[in-house]
Amino acid sequence: MQPVAVPANKNKRLTLRDIAKIVGVSASTASRALNNNSAISEEIRRKVNKAAKDANYIPNTLARGLALQRSQLIGLLVPSIANPFFAEILRGAHDVAQQKSYVVALCDTQRDKEREELFSERLLQSQVDGIIVTGSVMLEDRLIEWRKRNIPVVFAGRRSAGMRFSGVSVDDVSAGYQATRYLIDKGHKKVLFFGGKQDSAATRDRQRGYLDAVESLGLSPSVSYGDYGMESGFREAAKVAQGKDRPDAVFAANDLMAIGLIMGLANLGVKVPEDIAVMGCDDIAMGALIRPALTSVRIPMYEIGVRAMGLLLHELEVGQTGPAESILLDCGLVIRDSA
Amino acid sequence: MQPVAVPANKNKRLTLRDIAKIVGVSASTASRALNNNSAISEEIRRKVNKAAKDANYIPNTLARGLALQRSQLIGLLVPSIANPFFAEILRGAHDVAQQKSYVVALCDTQRDKEREELFSERLLQSQVDGIIVTGSVMLEDRLIEWRKRNIPVVFAGRRSAGMRFSGVSVDDVSAGYQATRYLIDKGHKKVLFFGGKQDSAATRDRQRGYLDAVESLGLSPSVSYGDYGMESGFREAAKVAQGKDRPDAVFAANDLMAIGLIMGLANLGVKVPEDIAVMGCDDIAMGALIRPALTSVRIPMYEIGVRAMGLLLHELEVGQTGPAESILLDCGLVIRDSA
DNA sequence: CTGAAAGCGCTTACAG
DNA sequence: CTGAAAGCGCTTACAG
């Protein structure tokens, strides 16, 4: 049997038909052999696979996707990759996607509604097989577009409010309650809640938990807002430290702001935790390294990403499941030195 | 003229042919109208566009990509999204890609060679139009595969060594030299270079600069390595602080390690900068907020990402340019309190 | 077990 | 300016 010459291939990519030709079978057969999804003679399967490997054949996912109606792409909407909280979710989601041969299309929305909508459309065009939405400010009716097209959407790190989308998150109300309760049990009387953006669901829920704790114990609440960034915590320090009605503890809605706050207070000569106790939320890696080490509420971010992608891929395989599934992961206190 | 009924569309996506039918033209014409890349009567163009908008038509990028041999996807290889340095490059690259209607396929390689190769292959399959490689440990001959297929590759944050690939980075040797020189000029006699992973090009170059400075001034070098993570800096503190041949200054190859080091030293009661001066490299946001505020070398990370994607997209439009183009961005000292 | 054909949804020469 | 046809590279009923 004469070996058939491999076509000159001048910068022309090898196609399935090419390798079929090499082996001397039809493209259909080659396809079946490669995907071994159908009965094929063992010999042909071997030959095709060998030829593919030898010729360094790389299947075209675009063409495959078009034929199969599956792009093998998963969209990921995050408000800010610079934020370790979302970076961790992203990492978790990314890891399981890759492991299942999906590729992740990343969109950093910067919490901007216009960008969210633009990206949502772009991802739709790219025919992503599904989308993970994290920390979105997007109105859910925008997402209905996806639902209508029968494309799975799962939330990560936040629960979907009105319309029922699947998602995995943490009980933020409980997180807020636990943190505040801890502070109060430690003897603090004036604890300030320092939230992130007000339109954020996490801030809303953590504040709810804070209020529950404070009010149930007959203390009076006080609230202030930053933007989830470290710098906003740093700036807040000035307000907090400044005399008259100074709190004796603050519960920040995320660690980044808590850390900024600690830095800012140190800068102003206010001692943490002696003068003011500071507690964060999320338990990002940095918290353990900062001095004083940050007391916080641990939110299993990486795990959230993992589970969210797991859910999404599951819905993809099983086909649109019936009711939306909400997974709530546990969170607990991480007590260190700042409170 | 009777309005033609829109097909019932039960969860079947609208296709170009559908909207062509609505308007009463051929798919070819509809395509031309939408992409307005060819002479088309103004009236038809309007009608087609209106119909597309009314019907909420979403073009299928997969099909388009197959026909045009362009996926509109750009691959991004980063060693770790959890690392702010790469997160910033990623952000820059992402922003310009999105702005030019490309979507970004993210791969976190964890600096693992096997994963890099796996992802490289996966991206090839996905028909990405180009790829940005950042902080890769991948042997460049792996990248030749890309070159052969005529797919643009650009490096970001690191220069390509052997084979000439385009890239944008910073003069790391100079960064190392500037930092060390600053330390020495401040009167320090025993400055330690605390590198990241030894196989990292940035570490190699910054160390080169360090050595140049130290040796040209007749001092003797001493070198130690971490892994670029904050924790490795924290751990290093113990070694550094421990008595006998204690350095009076350390230049860390990145800010994360420098910050960890500062935290660790504080923890051990060693005063920075009085007992030991600490200098970082990169100038990540956190450095400004830490106490003592971190003295560092500013590497314009976001800008690197922006320029790298710019270069890539340019090569894509112009077609493979001739010689590789290397852009070197400036870096300079950011003097704060830690040194 | 294998092949020819049709189709996935778009684009672009090629003719009018 | 417009349409019919062929093609991008794969997959999968449908027949053997």
Task: Clarify whether residues B39 and B154 are in a common domain.
Answer: no
B38 touches strand D (CB under 7 A): yes
Q: What is the pLDDT of residue A1?
A: 37
Same domain, B217 and B285: yes
Q: Minimal Cα–Cα distance from B296 to chain A, Å?
A: 18
Which residues, 6 or more positions from B16, have their beta carbon under 8 angstroms from its beta carbon? B27, B30, B31, B34, B57, B59
- Cα(A283)–Cα(A299) distance, integer angstroms: 6
Q: What is the pLDDT along chain B (339 residues), one digit of tens a residue?
A: 333 333 333 456 889 999 999 999 999 999 999 987 767 888 889 999 999 999 999 999 999 999 999 999 999 999 989 888 899 999 999 999 999 999 999 999 988 888 888 999 999 999 999 999 987 666 667 788 888 888 999 999 877 766 678 899 999 999 999 999 999 999 999 999 999 999 888 899 999 999 999 999 999 999 999 998 888 999 999 999 986 789 999 999 999 999 999 989 988 989 999 999 999 999 988 898 788 899 999 999 999 999 999 999 999 988 766 678 889 998 999 999 999
What does the pLDDT read at residue A8?
Answer: 38
- Do A260 and A306 belong together in one domain? no
The Cα B227–Cα B222 span in angstroms is 17
CA of B4 to C1' of D11 (A): 33
Please check whether residue A65 is in contact with residue A72, taking contact to mean a CB–CB distance below 8 angstroms: yes
Between residues B295 and A326, the one the model is more confident about? B295
pLDDT number for residue B29: 92
* Same-domain pairing of A247 and A315: no
Both structure tokens of B337: 């309190």
To the nearest 10°, report the CA torsion of B271, B274, B277, B280. 60
**Tell me, what's the pLDDT at A35?**
86
| Together in a domain, B162 and B180 | no
| Higher-pLDDT residue of B218, A111 | B218
Residue B4 is assigned to a structural domain of this protein: no
Residues of B within 8 A of A81 (CB-CB) are 81, 87, 90-91, 94
- Same domain, yes or no: B45 and B95: no
Q: Which residue has the tokens 């209607």?
A: B101
Name the least confident of A78-87, A161-170, A236-245, B41-50: A161-170
Instruction: Let me know if residue A102 belongs to a domain.
Output: yes
Q: In chain A, which residues have their Cβ closer than 8 Å to the Cβ of B84?
A: 82
**Percent over 90 (pLDDT), chain A:** 63
What's the mean pLDDT in A154-158?
A: 88
Q: How many CB pairs under 8 A join A and B?
A: 142
What's residue B320's pLDDT? 65
pLDDT in tens, A224-272: 999 988 889 999 999 999 867 899 999 999 999 999 999 899 889 899 9
- B245 within a domain of the structure (yes/no): yes
Q: State how far the Cα of A155 lies from the Cα of A132, in Å rounded to an integer.
A: 6
Domain membership flag for residue B93: yes
A8 lies in some domain: no
What's the Å distance between residue B178 CA and nucleotide C4 C1'?
70
pLDDT tens digits, A189-210: 999 999 999 988 889 999 999 9
Per-residue pLDDT at A6: 38
Residues in A closer than 8 angstroms to B306, CB to CB, are none
Q: What is the pLDDT of chain A when averaged over all its residues? A: 89
Domain of B36, in residue numbers = 16-59
Does A65 fall in a domain?
no
Q: What is the mean pLDDT of residues A56-75?
A: 94
Q: Are residues B201 and B288 in the same domain?
A: yes
Looking at the structure, do residues B177 and B292 belong to the same domain, yes or no?
yes
> Does one domain contain both B153 and B248?
no
CATH number of the domain at A263, please: 3.40.50.2300
The torsion region of residue A135 among left (phi > 0), alpha (psi -120 to 50) and beta comes to left
Per-residue pLDDT at A230? 86
Closest listed residue to residue B293, CA positions, set B310, B314, B272: B272
The reported pLDDT for the residue numbered B321 is 61
This prediction has a pTM of 0.85
Q: Which of A72, A87, A127 sits opposite B87 (nearest CB)?
A: A87
Same domain as A120, residue A179: no
Task: Give yes or no: residues A96 and A25 share one domain.
Answer: no
CB A32 within 7 Å, strand D: yes
Same domain for B123 and B267, yes or no, is no
In a domain, B46, yes or no: yes
Amino acid B4: pLDDT? 37
Structural domain count of chain A: 3
What CA–CA distance (Å, rounded) separates B299 from B278? 17
Closest nucleotide relative to residue A29's CA, C1' based? C2
Asked whether residue A274 carries a pLDDT value surpassing 90, the answer given is yes
CA distance from start to end of chain B: 79
Question: Is A120 in contact with B111 (CB distance < 8 Å)?
Answer: no
